[in-house]
Amino acid sequence: MEDKDLDKLYDLIYKLNEEVAELKRRSEEVKQDPDESQMDVVTDQEHVLVDPHSLGEYKNVSLPNGSVLKMRTYPMCVNGRHVINDLSDIVFCSRCGGAICSKHALDIDPPLCKNCIREEVGILSEAEIAVLVAVSKGVPFWRMTKTLKVSRGLVSKSLEKLRSLGFIRLGFPNFLRYETTMDGDNFIRLASFIYDI
């Protein structure tokens, strides 16, 4: 799913949650004595909400006319975009708290969803990530421009930024080559969940 589709889905979830909150507010405001006919009114229909930050629950919402609306909330996998039926295999993103099913859980500790990984990886451009990967594979500076098909200036700026972020350092004993640090290797691993590296 693209980010636009994801935004539409989250907007829909947000609107449905607002409607439920509005129904609750209205039902609490109505302070009238229901007569016998209103007390027996119960809707047969169950309304379903999908929420990536919920484990699933039932709620009964009283409407102003005295009827009861049954709401069922199901957890949604933020990586796979589907309803999670088996609650025993859920992990939660350590940043946003979104539910992730075991099928779509990434091998990261602490767990992260793809959106949070995109935000984490977003500090570097694709060209800078390519330079970081080239450094991790031992490609020398002069070959990077030919291999990546970018200008020397872009490679130099990328190396400077990567060094300032602590992702690379000058190699030892050969000070003419760069090597990745542990932070750089961890960043490459995170980026590999989003890009084909």
Picking from 181, 197, 178, the residue whose alpha carbon sits closest to that of residue 140 is 178
Q: 177 Cβ partners below 8 Å, 6+ apart? A: 138, 140, 141, 170, 171
Q: Residue 177's pLDDT is what?
A: 83
Q: What is the pLDDT of residue 31?
A: 45
- What pLDDT, on a 0 to 100 scale, did the predictor assign at position 40? 45
Q: How far is CA 179 from CA 131, 133, 144, in A?
A: 11, 10, 14
| CATH class of the region 122-192 | mainly alpha
The pLDDT confidence band at residue 1, using thresholds 50, 70 and 90, is low
- Predicted pLDDT at 185: 94
Q: What is the pTM of this model?
A: 0.62
Q: Among 1-5, 34-38, 167-171, whose mean pLDDT is lowest?
A: 34-38
For the segment 154-160, the average pLDDT, to the nearest whole number, is 93
What local confidence, expressed as pLDDT, does residue 19 receive? Answer: 85
In this prediction, residue 30 carries a pLDDT of 62
Q: What is the rounded average pLDDT for all residues in the chain?
A: 83
Residue-level pLDDT at 174:
66
Residues in Cβ contact with 163 at an 8 Å cutoff, skipping those fewer than 6 apart = 169, 178
Bigger pLDDT: 142 or 43? 142
pLDDT, position 168: 94
Length of the chain: 197
8 or 41: which leads in pLDDT = 8
Structure tokens at 127: 């060209």
Amino acid 83: pLDDT: 87
For residues 191 and 155, what is the distance between their CA atoms, to the nearest angstrom? 19
Domain ranges within the chain, ordered by starting residue: 3-112, 122-192
For residue 71, which amino acid is it?
Answer: M
pLDDT at 75 over 90: no
Mean pLDDT calculated for residue range 3-7:
76
Packing angle of the helix pair 114-121, 182-192 (nearest 10 deg): 130
15-67 pLDDT, tens digit per residue, is 888 888 888 887 777 645 454 444 444 445 667 777 787 777 887 878 788 78
Q: Which amino acid is at 108?
A: I
pLDDT for 26 = 77
Mention every residue, 6+ apart, whose C-beta is less than 8 A from residue 33: none
Alpha-helix runs per DSSP H in 30-75: 36-39
Quote the CA–CA distance of 78 and 91 in Å, as a whole number: 11
Exposed e or buried b per residue across 147-180, where buried means at least 16 C-beta atoms within 10 angstroms of its C-beta: ebeeeeebbeebbebbbebebbeeeeeeeeebeb
